């Protein structure tokens, strides 16, 4: 079922903004770069939103999957592949790895799954540091070449920004289509109660793994394009804090809404660049925002769930406040 | 046995005991809080580092005697935890599924403290070690060991024994274990559950702080120890069984010896891989841990 055409006007505004902003900022490379990073963050937070907002899983290995894709794409380019097939193979491979790493979600719920994914993220980061001959260890890989174009030349500047804008737009539209399809409703049913969803005849295993595949796809395409765009990656680029920051964009904007995470990414991704000389303060800012979101804004600025999660639980689960 | 074998063996054993007692202390601190409040404290490594760095400032920068500095830091952990409890922790006591909220909350605290450390202590120095409480070296056969490290080991072991006695025999410990097992029933029997929550948060953090200070007496500390400690303490808690103090003690000692042995033959990264692998296996196949209460 396609939603009515009138419901697509926010998408039109978003498409206009996504393509317009890099064009408007093309005079100043630094601001255009911030816009590009923001667009990659929109793609990432949209993928995280599918998992966290709609399927109710909170993976902390999102950054790790993006990193696997980035490292494998660059590795393939370094052995002589051209960029686009390398990106295809790298991101598809990373998405399948994402599905495999999502398997624990079939057994573990809530905190235990998140902890498990945090462990996986730590293992991935340690792997990036440990396999020095593949990843150059803690030093990282610098001077990553820009993607080549079929007709010769290299993708750079405004053209690169527009590719990122196109991907962010495709990501948001894809999420909208998924959410409005029966698949999206099955995912929401799993989020609300996966045991009940199973008794209703929903194949929970297949839906969860599909959500992981799509979510990891967003992560890995973003990762593959992030590496040449910034020109430098290290294990620190894809560590647990990066996963946490993407989670923050979703939670801050409002999980389980299409536009909340987009707004979250647009508001939060530029912060480290706008701090400039005080760049190192960004961890403190993001950390305080995480605490603020958890304590003050559990539903995010876009309102989040229509049913407040706390009120939705049966009263019997509440422990009696002791005096 | 040649002298060198004895030296290697003794060095492994002492390192194992030292690391094991520290790991156990921190893991007990984490598991007490998880068992009662249901709060997985991901910031435990940062608290551990905070204690070590603050003791370093107090003894090196302000010139306090290291023993005084250590007691000061452990004392300060009480108002510090109390403030955190009032500002943040208390709000979630009655929320269902609060463990995930707490987990994210403490990850946020981790990120704040990471940022603060990297712009302050990270700029000032790479390695932080406290001046020794006791000077001199003791010889165990051919193997020399600094008296200071022996003292830290002894204090850590005594602290663990005291903690164990407190939880087993004292009135507060019994109330805490009652809340561990069934908070409704404990409340019906007249236990003030909220007071127990607050006490266990303060006690747990105090133990973590003590672990950090003792570690800084025995070894030089750098800023990366925080995340390693967080992950290790979680691994110990999960493998030992969340909320199980005995499990945390035993698995903590096992981890200490594993790290000591593995470090001889391979890099510490391999040790980290093996903990994380063990933790994944336990999470997937026996989520209640080996020493489930």
Residues 32 to 51 of B: which have CB under 8 A from any A CB? 40
Give the count of domains, chain A.
Answer: 1
Residues A17-28: tens digit of each pLDDT: 999 998 888 888
CATH number of the domain residue A16 falls in:
1.10.3470
**Own/partner long-range contacts of A312-321 (Cβ < 8 Å, ≥24 apart):** A313/B96, A313/B97, A317/B96, A318/B94, A318/B96, A319/B94, A319/B183, A319/B184, A319/B187, A319/B193, A320/B184, A320/B187, A321/B93, A321/B94, A321/B194
**Pick from A122, A290, A320: CB nearest B107:** A290
| CA–CA gap between residue A65 and residue A43 (Å, rounded) | 14
Any A CB within 8 A of B4 CB: no
Distance from the Cα of A24 to chain B's closest Cα (Å) equals 34
Residues belonging to chain B: 293
Any A CB within 8 A of B190 CB: no
- Asked whether B244 and B292 are in contact (CB, 8 A), the reply is yes
Residues A66-84: tens digit of each pLDDT: 999 999 999 999 898 889 9
Distance from the Cα of A150 to chain B's closest Cα (Å) equals 42
Whether B106 shows a pLDDT value over 90: the answer reads: yes
- Residues on chain A touching B284 (C-beta within 8 angstroms): 104, 107-108, 116
Q: Which domain holds residue A33?
A: 5-317
Q: What band does A317 get if pLDDT is binned at 50, 70 and 90?
A: very low
Whether A319 shows a pLDDT value over 60: the answer reads: no
| CA–CA gap between residue B31 and residue B247 (Å, rounded) | 9
Mean pLDDT computed over B144-159: 89
User: Under 8 Å CB-to-CB from B143, ≥6 apart: which residues?
Assistant: B6, B7, B10, B11, B14
Distance from the Cα of A189 to chain B's closest Cα (Å) equals 18
Chain A residue with CA closest to B187: the answer is A322
- Residues on chain A touching B99 (C-beta within 8 angstroms): 110-111
- What is the model's pTM? 0.87
Burial of A151 (0-12, 13-18, 19+ CB in 10 A): exposed
Q: What is the pLDDT of residue A323?
A: 39
Tokens 């079929």 locate to A150
| CA–CA gap between residue A204 and residue A212 (Å, rounded) | 12
Distance from the Cα of A216 to chain B's closest Cα (Å) equals 21
In a domain, A323, yes or no: no
Any A CB within 8 A of B98 CB: no
Any A CB within 8 A of B88 CB: yes
Any B CB within 8 A of A193 CB: no
Q: What band does A283 get if pLDDT is binned at 50, 70 and 90?
A: confident
- Residues on chain B touching A305 (C-beta within 8 angstroms): none
Please indicate whether, in this complex, the C-beta atoms of B105 and A108 are within 8 angstroms of each other: no
Residues 120 to 179 of B: which have CB under 8 A from any A CB? none
In a domain, A67, yes or no: yes
**Pick from A58, A111, A130: CB nearest B40:** A111
Mean pLDDT computed over B187-193: 85
Please indicate whether, in this complex, the C-beta atoms of B96 and A320 are within 8 angstroms of each other: no
Distance from the Cα of A28 to chain B's closest Cα (Å) equals 30
Burial of B124 (0-12, 13-18, 19+ CB in 10 A): exposed
Mean pLDDT computed over B196-213: 93
Mutate to test the interface with B, among A104, A106, A109, A115 (most CBs of B within 10 A): A115
Q: What is the pLDDT of residue A303?
A: 65
In a domain, A322, yes or no: no
Whether A313 shows a pLDDT value over 50: the answer reads: no
In a domain, A171, yes or no: yes
User: Under 8 Å CB-to-CB from A104, ≥6 apart: which residues?
Assistant: A113, A116, A117, B280, B283, B284
Any A CB within 8 A of B273 CB: yes
Any B CB within 8 A of A112 CB: yes
- How many residue pairs from chains A and B have C-beta atoms closer than 8 A? 127
Tell me the longest C-alpha to C-alpha distance in chain A.
Answer: 75
Please indicate whether, in this complex, the C-beta atoms of A284 and B112 are within 8 angstroms of each other: yes
Please indicate whether, in this complex, the C-beta atoms of A241 and B97 are within 8 angstroms of each other: no
Distance from the Cα of A198 to chain B's closest Cα (Å) equals 20
Q: At what angle are helices A29-49 and A62-78 packed, to 10 degrees?
A: 120
How far does CA A104 lie from the centroid of its chain? 19
In a domain, A64, yes or no: yes
- Residues on chain B touching A119 (C-beta within 8 angstroms): 231, 234-235, 276, 279-280, 283
Residues B36-78: tens digit of each pLDDT: 888 999 999 999 999 999 999 999 889 888 889 999 999 999 9
Please indicate whether, in this complex, the C-beta atoms of B283 and A116 are within 8 angstroms of each other: yes
SS3 label, residue A233: strand
How far does CA B186 lie from the centroid of its chain? 27
Q: What is the pLDDT of residue B43?
A: 93
- Asked whether A238 and A125 are in contact (CB, 8 A), the reply is yes
Prediction ipTM score: 0.87
Please indicate whether, in this complex, the C-beta atoms of B184 and A241 are within 8 angstroms of each other: no
Distance from the Cα of B262 to chain A's closest Cα (Å) equals 16
Mean pLDDT computed over A2-27: 82
Q: What is the pLDDT of residue B1?
A: 62
Q: What band does A43 get if pLDDT is binned at 50, 70 and 90?
A: very high
- The Cα-based distances of B32 to A323, B47, B53 in angstroms read 22, 15, 24
Mean pLDDT computed over A150-157: 78
Q: Identify the structural domains of chain B with CATH numbers, from first to last.
A: 3-285 (1.10.3470)
Residues 199 to 258 of A: which have CB under 8 A from any B CB? 240-241, 244, 247, 251
């Amino acid at each position: 079922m396609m939603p009515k055409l009138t419901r697509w006007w926010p998408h039109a505004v978003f498409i206009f903004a996504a393509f317009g902003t890099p064009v408007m900022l093309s005079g100043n490379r630094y601001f255009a770069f911030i816009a590009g990073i923001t667009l990659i963050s929109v793609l990432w937070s949209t993928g995280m939103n599918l998992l966290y907002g709609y399927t109710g899983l909170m993976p902390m290995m999102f950054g790790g999957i993006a990193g696997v894709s980035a490292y494998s794409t660059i590795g393939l380019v370094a052995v002589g592949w051209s960029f686009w097939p390398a990106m295809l193979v790298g991101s598809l491979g990373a998405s399948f790895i994402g599905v495999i790493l999502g398997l624990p979600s079939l057994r573990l719920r809530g905190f235990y799954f998140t902890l498990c994914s945090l462990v996986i993220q730590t293992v991935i980061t340690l792997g990036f540091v440990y396999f020095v001959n593949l990843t150059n260890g803690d030093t990282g890989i610098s001077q990553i070449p820009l993607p080549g174009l079929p007709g010769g030349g290299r993708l750079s500047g405004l053209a690169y920004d527009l590719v990122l804008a196109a991907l962010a737009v495709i990501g948001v539209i894809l999420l909208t289509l998924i959410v409005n399809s029966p698949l999206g409703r099955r995912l929401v049913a799993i989020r609300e109660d996966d045991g009940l969803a199973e008794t209703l005849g929903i194949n929970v295993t297949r839906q969860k793994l599909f959500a992981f595949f799509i979510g990891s796809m967003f992560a890995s395409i973003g990762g593959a394009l992030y590496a040449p765009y910034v020109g430098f990656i290290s294990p620190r680029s894809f560590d647990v804090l990066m996963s946490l920051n993407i989670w923050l964009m979703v939670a801050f904007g409002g999980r389980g809404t299409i536009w909340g995470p987009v707004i979250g990414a647009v508001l939060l991704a530029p912060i480290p660049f706008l701090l400039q000389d005080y760049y190192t303060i960004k961890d403190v800012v993001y950390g305080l925002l995480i605490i603020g979101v958890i304590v003050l804004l559990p539903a995010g600025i876009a309102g989040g769930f229509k049913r407040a999660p706390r009120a939705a639980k049966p009263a019997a689960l509440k422990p009696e406040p002791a005096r | 046995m040649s002298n060198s074998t004895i030296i290697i063996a003794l060095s492994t054993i002492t390192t194992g005991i030292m690391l094991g007692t520290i790991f156990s202390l921190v893991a007990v601190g984490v598991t007490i809080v998880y068992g009662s409040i249901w709060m997985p404290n991901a910031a435990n490594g940062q608290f551990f580092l905070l204690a070590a760095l603050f003791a370093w400032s107090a003894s090196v920068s302000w010139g306090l005697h290291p023993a005084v500095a250590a007691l000061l830091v452990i004392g300060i952990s009480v108002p510090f935890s109390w403030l955190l409890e009032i500002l943040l922790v208390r709000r979630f006591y009655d929320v269902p599924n609060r463990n995930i909220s707490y987990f994210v909350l403490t990850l946020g605290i981790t990120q704040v403290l990471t940022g603060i450390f990297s712009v302050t202590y990270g700029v000032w120095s790479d390695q932080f070690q406290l001046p020794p409480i006791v000077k001199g070296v003791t010889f165990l056969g051919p193997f020399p060991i600094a008296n200071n490290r022996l003292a830290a080991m002894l204090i850590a072991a005594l602290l663990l024994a005291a903690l164990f006695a407190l939880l087993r025999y004292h009135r507060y410990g019994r109330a805490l274990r009652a809340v561990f097992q069934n908070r409704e029933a404990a409340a019906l029997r007249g236990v003030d559950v909220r007071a127990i929550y607050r006490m266990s948060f303060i006690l747990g953090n105090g133990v973590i702080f003590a672990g950090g200070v003792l570690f800084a007496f025995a070894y030089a500390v750098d800023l990366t120890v925080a995340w390693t400690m967080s992950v290790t303490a979680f691994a110990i808690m999960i493998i030992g069984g969340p909320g199980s103090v005995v499990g945390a003690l035993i698995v903590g000692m096992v981890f200490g010896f594993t790290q000591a042995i593995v470090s001889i033959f391979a890099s510490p990264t391999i040790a980290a891989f093996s903990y994380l692998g063990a933790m994944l296996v336990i999470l997937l196949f026996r989520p209640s841990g080996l020493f489930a209460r």
